[in-house]
């Protein structure tokens, strides 16, 4: 039997590469006679830089930046051999950069990600792709624009700090001289910007938003979208995927006429996923959480759907599994396994993710092939 191990990252605990190594060892320990290939994946967000580096397509570049709360830090982006650049939102604006007590999308900003893009442009990049995902922010990309030289002013003409809670104070956007650069957004999430399926309602709570915050954040994004349309003539609020990563992409879609591209497909093509699926009988993947949000374009579900076209069985291991199994089955998931034991806190499971993943996979293999 041919087994393809193709995990995404388990945010806050394991990179896709580390998860793949752990899963490979667990499978071979239980089923030493099977053939195993590993193919770490990403939807273009967290983990993409490692994938590009492992493919030998260029080099990582370190640059000064700021974390979601404005603290100085050093982050990385990827420079391809052709001079184009891939920036991961999670590198400077990721949820994993904050501890639980610091998470509050009213206060966080994508400013640090904007600094990375600005650095790449000043180093000569003419094409930049921003991979969305894993953000701690809900600022509609306002921080990103501010870092790139856009003035975000209130009714008194005073600059506004670009956080999710301050968007309603911004009434004017003054652009800088825009350099000759093409900026695209890699995004697979289909959520709209606002409303019950939007950025604030769906993703805000996991970033620390209370119900009261969600309402205000949603209203703020609606205000920001209207201001972007007024300023740049681009209606962004109803675009599919505009709610990804706290609405970060809408700023680039409006100000830079960016294109939204499917991050998972870009990665899948680069790593030769279809060739691997044609070889495989069973595909085993992993991610931090499998829930109804996963059905809105997350890498794990995209992988399972593609695997079914090659008649592969699919197993998904996740720190937490929540939702209707019939929905997962309809999306291509044959079996879903929660690696976090009942009664264990999420924080504890994150700290023990390597051991828990290995144990769950060994158990599943032994029970399936007694």
**If residue 288 lies in a helix (H) or strand (E), which one and from where to where?**
strand 282-290
pLDDT at 314: 97
Assigned CATH for 48-263:
3.90.1510.10
Q: What share of the chain is helix, strand, coil (3-state, %, to 5)?
A: 45, 20, 35
pLDDT at 53: 93
Output 323 or 135, whichever has higher pLDDT. 135
Average pLDDT over the chain reads 93
Q: Which residues of 11-33 are buried (b: 16+ CB within 10 A; e: fewer)?
A: bbbbbbbbbbbbbbebbeebbee
pLDDT band, very low/low/confident/very high, at 351 (cuts 50, 70, 90) = confident
pLDDT at 23: 96
Q: Which residues of 125-163 are buried (b: 16+ CB within 10 A; e: fewer)?
A: beebbbbbbbbbbbbbbbbbbbbbebbbbeeeeeebbbb
Output 241 or 157, whichever has higher pLDDT. 157
pLDDT at 289: 86
Q: What percent of the chain has pLDDT over 90?
A: 75
Look at residues 350, 332, 330 and name the one whose alpha carbon lies nearest to residue 340: 350
Lowest mean pLDDT among 91-95, 119-123, 148-152, 287-291: 287-291
The answer, yes or no, to whether residue 324 has pLDDT greater than 80, is no
Span 3-32, pLDDT tens digits: 999 999 887 788 889 999 999 999 999 989
Homologous superfamily of 2-39+272-368: Glycerate kinase; domain 1 (3.40.50.10350)
DSSP code for 70: S
DSSP code for 177: P
Task: Tell me how far apart the alpha carbons of residues 44 and 18 are, in angstroms, rounded to a whole number.
Answer: 17
Residues of the chain with CATH 3.90.1510.10: 48-263
pLDDT at 36: 97
Span 33-74, pLDDT tens digits: 999 999 999 887 788 999 999 999 999 999 999 999 999 999
Look at residues 327, 335, 326, 288 and name the one whose alpha carbon lies nearest to residue 307: 335
Chain centroid offset of residue 91 CA: 10
The answer, yes or no, to whether residue 240 has pLDDT greater than 70, is yes
pLDDT at 45: 78
Residues of the chain with CATH 3.40.50.10350: 2-39+272-368
Number of H helices, E strands in the chain: 13, 13
Span 205-222, pLDDT tens digits: 989 999 999 999 999 999
pLDDT at 370: 58
* pTM of this structure: 0.89
Task: Tell me how far apart the alpha carbons of residues 309 and 118 are, in angstroms, rounded to a whole number.
Answer: 41
pLDDT at 292: 80
């Amino acid at each position: 039997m041919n087994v393809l191990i193709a995990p995404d990252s388990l945010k806050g605990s394991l990179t896709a590469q580390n998860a793949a190594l752990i899963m490979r060892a667990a499978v071979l320990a239980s089923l030493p006679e099977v053939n195993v290939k590993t193919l770490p994946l990403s939807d273009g967000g967290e983990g993409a830089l490692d994938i590009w580096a492992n493919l030998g397509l260029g080099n990582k570049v370190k640059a000064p930046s700021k974390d979601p709360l404005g603290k100085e830090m050093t982050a990385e982006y990827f420079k391809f051999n052709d001079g184009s650049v891939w920036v991961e939102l999670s590198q400077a604006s990721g949820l994993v950069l904050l501890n639980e007590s610091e998470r509050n999308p009213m206060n966080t900003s994508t400013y640090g990600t904007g600094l990375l893009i600005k650095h790449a442009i000043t180093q000569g990049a003419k094409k930049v792709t921003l991979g969305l995902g894993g953000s701690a922010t809900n600022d509609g990309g306002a921080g990103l624009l501010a870092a790139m030289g856009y003035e975000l002013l209130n009714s008194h003409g005073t600059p506004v700090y670009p956080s999710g809670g301050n968007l309603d104070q911004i009434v004017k956007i003054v652009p800088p001289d825009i350099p000759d650069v093409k900026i695209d957004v890699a995004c697979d999430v289909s959520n709209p910007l606002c409303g019950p399926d939007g950025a604030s309602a769906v993703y805000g709570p996991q970033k620390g938003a209370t119900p009261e915050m969600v309402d205000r954040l949603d209203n703020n994004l609606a205000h920001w979208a209207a201001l972007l349309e007024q300023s740049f003539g681009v209606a962004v609020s109803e675009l599919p995927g505009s709610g990804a990563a706290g609405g970060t992409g809408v700023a680039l879609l409006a100000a830079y006429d960016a294109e939204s591209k499917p991050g998972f497909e870009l990665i899948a093509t680069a790593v030769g996923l279809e060739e691997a699926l044609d070889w495989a009988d069973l595909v085993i993947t992993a991610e931090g959480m499998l829930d109804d949000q996963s059905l809105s374009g997350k890498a794990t579900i995209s992988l399972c759907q593609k695997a079914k076209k090659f008649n592969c069985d699919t197993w998904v291991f996740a720190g937490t599994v929540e939702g209707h199994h019939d929905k997962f089955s309809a999306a291509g998931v044959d079996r879903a396994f929660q690696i976090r034991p009942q009664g264990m806190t999420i924080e504890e499971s994150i700290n023990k993710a390597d051991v828990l993943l290995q144990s769950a996979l060994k158990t599943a293999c032994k029970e399936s092939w007694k």
